[in-house]
Amino acid sequence: MQITGGEAVYQALVKLGVSAVFGIPSVHNLPIFDAINRGGAIDVYVPRHEQAALHAADGYARASGRLGVVIASTGPGTTNAMTGLYEAAFASSPIMLITGQVESFAYGKGRGAGHEADRQLPMLRTVARRVESPRYTQDIADAVFRVAADVQSGRPQPGCVEIPIDIQYAHTSEAVGDPLPVKPVAPDAAQVARAAEALADSSRRVIIAGGGVNTCDAGSALTQLAERLNAPVFTSVNGRGAIPDDHALAMGPLINRRDVRAAMADAELVIAVGTRFQGNPGAWPALPGRLVHIDVDPFVHNLVFPADVSLIADARLSLKALLDASNAGAGDAAFLQRLREATDDSRQQSRQRIGVDMEAIMDHIRATTPRDALLVRDMTTPAYAWANQILPILGPRTTMNPTSGAIGPALPLANGAAIATGKKTVLIQGDGGFMLHIGELAVTAQYQLPLVICVFTDGGYGILRGIQSARFDGRQIGVDLATPNFVKVANGMGIAAEAVKGVAAFKDAFTRAMAAEHPVLLDIDMSTLTPMKGVGLVKPFTQPE
């Protein structure tokens, strides 16, 4: 039986277990969309911009652990997608972009064909680990399988398949085969033994859990090891949820605080799992004692800190092997208590810094949100001040933020996460970042996604106001923005919305929003709240009526 190239893509995706794709139809991918439409086994979600499509697929993948797939057009469609690929690479997210290309006979000729992008492949290679462009229709499915296998092998990274439009329409009698097997990388037995020996030779131990723990669903094994060792567990921001924040051994992402550093100065052993110590190395304290580093990516070992023992392997398999191999007893109780007191003090200082109103808002969000609800944050003042660090996270894959530091991705990330799980999803975003993808409200409305969208509005970029004010003698530029009436914008797109002024109004509105069976937007006027200390500036502003 003969199939088109578009049908080959569809059949390959079905065999990969893909049940949802994100993308925008275009003349250079219509055969793929038509095959999906006729096949019926894959749902299509249409964002309003290709960058948002990548962010939505990224949110889908982070919340579910499944492959996120985007279908885009060549040229402008793919250049639009680049920022989303960049973010997914930072976040170690399993994303596959399938894009078109002009006809094979025009490819590389510089004839100005519509959407022509002769240098598309090298552009994609700057943000994707594996990129393929099959030359013949019979090769399409195998290219999809190879890229999908690479995306999901080891540390997840984006991959791309570019398919010229003529071979999407063309036919082949080659049957679609089966996906390539993807196996987790097992740890080396000798290195496991060395790590177990390091555990046995120490009593003051600290565990640092990164996003890789959540990526390979190693939270249970991590918690078991921490409980056996009676060891405190710090997380990166991406590692939050690997151990619930209400667990007695959970210290949160507070390892960089001065008092915490002082309390762990005499640690004998650090076990770092699934982390590359992301960010400026100076942001991480010099690690005390010896380092056992567990991470599947060989390139992150000895990148920031030299490891005494390196397990270049899957975090879950490594932790299970370490549990089996180690006979180390419970750690120093006094050391644990010092760290617990230091982190409690640091957390309390953060609460005092954000002020009584933001503290009340944070506590109400957690009190009225189920443990498994999703909490999605943008790069915004409330995220920096409390949502990233002291808002309790109670389960794996229940929290996400732009790992690259990008402003704006949170709404499409939240859309994708809600599509993946069907769970209530709380979005914490500032008005400046919200404007970058405000069109994705139409996606929220179209698919009636269970979002509670909390837009903290201060009429511009509050964080940058604060930085400029502190560093440039109070001078500011480009940080005050014309801010629309978000309630009217949301209503115009078919989304219920409320303007919120003050804590009491927020509590009432948020409680109603959580009970609603439809998306709700809350426009929170930050000028009506107690100012936070040292995090951004709020200027009085007036929204259009």
Q: What letter represents residue 460's amino acid?
A: G
- How many domains are contained in the chain? 3
CATH number at residue 436: 3.40.50.970
Q: Are residues 218 and 120 in the same domain?
A: no
**In a domain? residue 533:** no
Rounded to whole angstroms, what are the CA distances from 102 to 111, 118, 445, 503?
11, 9, 34, 55
Q: Do 297 and 409 lie in a common domain?
A: no
pLDDT by 10-residue block (mean), the chain, 545 residues: 96 98 96 97 98 98 98 96 97 97 80 78 97 97 98 97 97 96 96 97 96 96 97 95 97 91 94 86 74 96 94 98 94 95 95 94 97 95 90 96 93 98 97 96 98 94 82 86 94 97 98 97 95 75 74
CA distances from 106 to 26, 166, 368 (A): 18, 10, 58
| 432 domain-assigned | yes
Tell me which residue range forms the domain holding 141.
Answer: 3-172
Beta bridge partners of 95: 68
From start to end of 119-268, where are the E strands?
130-132, 159-164, 171-172, 205-209, 233-235, 250-252
Per-residue 3-state assignment (H helix, E strand, C coil) for 517-545: CCCEEEEEEHHHCCCCCCCCCCCCCCCCC
Rg (CA), the chain: 24
Grouping H, G, I as helix, E, B as strand and the rest as coil, residue 271 is strand
We report the CATH number of the domain holding residue 327 as: 3.40.50.1220
Which among 172, 197, 214 is the end of a domain? 172
Of the candidates 20, 94, 14, the residue with the CA atom closest to the CA atom of residue 422: 20
Are 16 and 84 contained in the same domain?
Answer: yes
Q: Select from 183, 21, 38 the least CA-distant residue to 95.
A: 21
Exposure letters 49-65 (e unless 16+ CB within 10 A, then b): bbbbbbbbbbbbbbbbb
Q: Are residues 163 and 203 in the same domain?
A: no
Q: Are residues 292 and 369 in the same domain?
A: no
Which residue type is seen at 218? A
What are the CA-CA distances from residue 523 to residues 457, 479, 499, 509 (Å)?
Answer: 7, 19, 5, 10
Q: Are residues 383 and 509 in the same domain?
A: yes
pLDDT at 532: 86
- Both 392 and 316 in one domain: the answer is no
Does residue 542 form part of some domain? Answer: no
Is 282 a domain residue? yes
Nearest to 65 by CA among 222, 216, 221: 216
Q: Are residues 312 and 301 in contact, defined by beta-carbon separation less than 8 angstroms?
A: yes
Q: For residues 506 and 363, state if they share a domain.
A: yes
Q: 394 and 306, same structural domain?
A: no
Extract the tokens encoding 66.
């499944």
Say which amino acid occupies 162: E
Q: State how far the Cα of 517 lies from the Cα of 503, in Å rounded to an integer.
A: 23
Strands 496-500 and 520-525, by their bridges, are: parallel
Q: Are both 149 and 254 inside the same structural domain?
A: no
At residue 470, the pLDDT reads 80
Tell me the three state secondary structure of residue 429.
strand
Are the CB atoms for 415 and 449 separated by under 8 Å? yes
307 and 378 share a domain?
no
Query: Phi and psi dihedrals of 179, rounded to 5?
Result: -60, 155
The per-residue DSSP string of 324-352 comes to HH-------HHHHHHHHHHHHHHHHHHHH
State how beta strands 3-4 and 171-172 pair. Answer: antiparallel
Please list, in sequence order, all residues whose beta carbon lies within 8 angstroms of the beta carbon of residue 12, skipping any fewer than 6 positions away.
140, 141, 144, 145, 148, 176, 179
Domain co-membership, 198 together with 166: no
CB 261 within 8 A of CB 282: no
How far is CA 444 from its chain centroid? 19
Looking at residue 107, its pLDDT comes to 81
Query: Helix, strand or coil for residue 235?
Result: strand
> Looking at the domain assignment, is residue 337 inside a domain?
no
Per-position DSSP letters for 359-412, written without gaps between them:
HHHHHHHHHTS-TT-EEEE-SSHHIIIIITTTS---STTSEE--TT--SSTHHH
Closest CA to 414 of 363, 372, 453: 453
In a domain, 51, yes or no: yes
Please report whether residue 543 resides in a domain: no
For residue 183, is it within any domain?
no
